[in-house]
Amino acid sequence: MQTTKTPPRILGLYDVPMWTFLEQDRQLRLQCCTDCGTWRYPPGPACPDCLSPDSDWKPVSGQGEVVSWVMFHKEYLPEYPAPYNVVAVRLDEGPILISNLIEDPAENVIGKRVKLVPVEMDDGVVLPRFELESA
Amino acid sequence: MKRTAAVIGVGHSDWVGDWHRVRAGERPGDSYHYGATAFRAAIKDAGIKREDIDGLIVGPTTAYERMAEVLHMDVRWGDQADAVLSVLQAVQAIETGAADVVALVYGNDQRSAGIQYGGPQAMGGDLFLSYVYHAPWGMTSQGALYAMTFRAYADRYGISERDLGHVAVAQRQGAARNPNAIQRKEITLDDYMAARYITEPLRLFDYCLINDGGVALIIAEAGIARKLSDNPVWIESTGRFDLNRNATSLEPRLTDFYRPAQQAVAEQVFGTSGLDPSDIDVFQVYDSFSVHIPLALEGYGYCGVGEAGKFMSEQGIGLGGKLPTNTSGGHLSETYMQGWAHQIECVRQLRGECGERQVEGTKRVHYSSDVAGKAVSIIYGRD
Ligand SMILES: [Zn+2]
């Protein structure tokens, strides 16, 4: 999995803290509703459950399960030469993250447990990726 | 059935000829040119004059005012929408009396203008965050979203990649019998399996074409339609349901495969029309990728949940099959007009104008679209 440059991120008003926390303390923090505890991803202005505007940036466990995965055989982004994998992981906290497995899957990985690995790219961005939990 | 409005004219550009011209390095025209070309053909087909039209909807790829200016049309009602919503909005405008005869005009120079549907400039990212949000992890291609959907679906229900190949094979069968189709060489399941992966598990033939073209339709109020047309194609019923929760994280695609939206729409289109799936002679499905078809077959009740692979291989979705689907070749083989050309195929199957690919005795055609979880359906019928 490449670690050179990161393709452009969406950095809207609510997105920046997640990336800053990743760079500062190598930890994925997501918004968690102050009023009802519902997790929020992608970051946004209101709780999807109770519509509260208030949230705390709390660390997630980094534990999750693979929901689906693909292998790119065509290059769409110069930063990502093919082949490479993309994976959808449901965090134990609830939200689904689109990310990469550090090692390309050798077989179907749906349902497999994974844990988060912060990967520092050459351009300084810290990207949350995953690895299979050792059997 | 309500039958408040009918399609009385259809037209399109010569996308086959333009495909060859664009590949030879020419630029036959811009999006407005393709729209105007289709519009000229549609009013001729309807046998009406431009002055008979009092409503206009243009597709999302052109500016409303500029298209109206190019067509030199002042109207009392207008809007901008995608293919399927244009039809719904035209019907609503007619039912509320806002307009009596509505022209729907779409033009797109996506091929010659080099529009990107994957990569850093992915089209649609301003509308659907999921198309661009995951770029840091290399995930921007819309096809890859469907590859991910299919992997989860296959894991859940055991459909094979070869089963999915029936979509591309069946649609190419129709395209081979359609002089307006761009890709007309028939393929076999072996050809399908031998093609390269683009984003695994999807292969080359699972992906739509990218080409230039234009489509136009004329929709008229029922009384006017009967006066103007010998063979009006009725809009029997319409339905819509959108799944937006957790859309950026792809959850509605990956966990329920959009099925709840399609089931809600099925209740609307079949419930209000007194029809059910067994009354449908031809199925037309928005197919930016082949994966749309098995999901729609299940979502609308043409087969049981998890049985689309079996349905396609045993009952058949090609010509002569149980449910001929995307008989023109669809986006995969005929032309990628973002759902617009599918409306024309609905009309032509009902008018009996489809020549070698005609499904004899077609009385009802169901069109389904589920782009980014916005499930919409139309049932077209004839007298
Ligand atoms: Zn809340």
Distance from CA of A8 to the nearest CA of B (A): 6
CB B111 within 8 A of CB B336: no
Question: Model-level pTM?
Answer: 0.96
CA distance A30 to A59: 6
Q: List CB-based neighbours of ion ligand 1 within 5 Å.
A: A 33, 35-36, 38, 47, 49-50, 52
Q: With contacts defined as CB-CB under 8 Å, which chain B residues touch A70?
A: 144, 147-148, 151, 199-201
Which tokens sit at B48?
Answer: 């009406």
Which tokens sit at B319?
Answer: 């010509």
What phi, psi does B165 have (nearest 5°)?
Answer: -60, -20
pLDDT, block means (10 residues), chain B with 383 residues: 92 97 95 98 98 97 97 97 97 98 97 83 77 93 95 97 98 98 98 98 97 98 96 96 96 95 96 90 98 98 97 97 98 97 98 98 97 95 94
Q: Chain A: residue nearest B255 by CA?
A: A67
| Length in residues, chain B | 383
Looking at residue B356, its pLDDT comes to: 98
CA distance B145 to B330: 20
> Rg (Cα) of chain B, in Å, rounded?
19
Which tokens sit at B114?
Answer: 């080099």
Domains of chain A, CATH where assigned = 10-59 (no CATH), 61-134 (2.40.50.840)
Dihedral sign (CA B94, B235, B7, B81): positive
Q: Give the count of Cβ contacts less than 8 A between chain A and B.
A: 106
Looking at residue A135, its pLDDT comes to: 58
Looking at residue A112, its pLDDT comes to: 98
- The one-character DSSP state at B58 is E
Q: With contacts defined as CB-CB under 8 Å, which chain B residues touch A110?
A: 151-152, 155
B158, B164, B165, B167: CA torsion to nearest 10: 150
Looking at residue B233, its pLDDT comes to: 98
Residue A94 has pLDDT above 90, yes or no: yes
CB A70 within 8 A of CB A85: yes
Looking at residue A89, its pLDDT comes to: 98
What mean pLDDT comes out for the span A103-122? Answer: 97
Q: How far is CA B336 from CA A98, A133, B25, B26, B37, in A?
A: 28, 43, 19, 19, 17
Q: Is the ipTM of this complex over 0.85?
A: yes
Task: For residue A85, name the pLDDT band (cuts at 50, 70, 90).
Answer: very high
- Tokens 């973002």, residue located: B338
Angle at CA B277, nearest 5°, toward B271 and B280?
110
Give residue B246 CA to ligand 1 midpoint distance, Å. 15
CA distance A37 to B30: 51
Which tokens sit at B302?
Answer: 């043409």
Q: With contacts defined as CB-CB under 8 Å, which chain A residues touch B289?
A: none
Q: What is the 3-state secondary structure (H, E, C) of B127-170?
A: CCHHHCCCHHHCCCCHHHHHHHHHHHHHHHHCCCHHHHHHHHHH
Interface with chain B: mutation pick from A18, A51, A72, highest number of B CBs within 10 Å:
A72
Verify whether the Cβ–Cβ distance B148 to A95 is below 8 Å.
no
Number of Cβ atoms within 10 Å of the Cβ of B97 = 9
Beta strand spans in B252-352 (E): 282-285
pLDDT tens readout for residues A17-55: 999 999 999 999 999 999 999 999 999 999 999 999 999
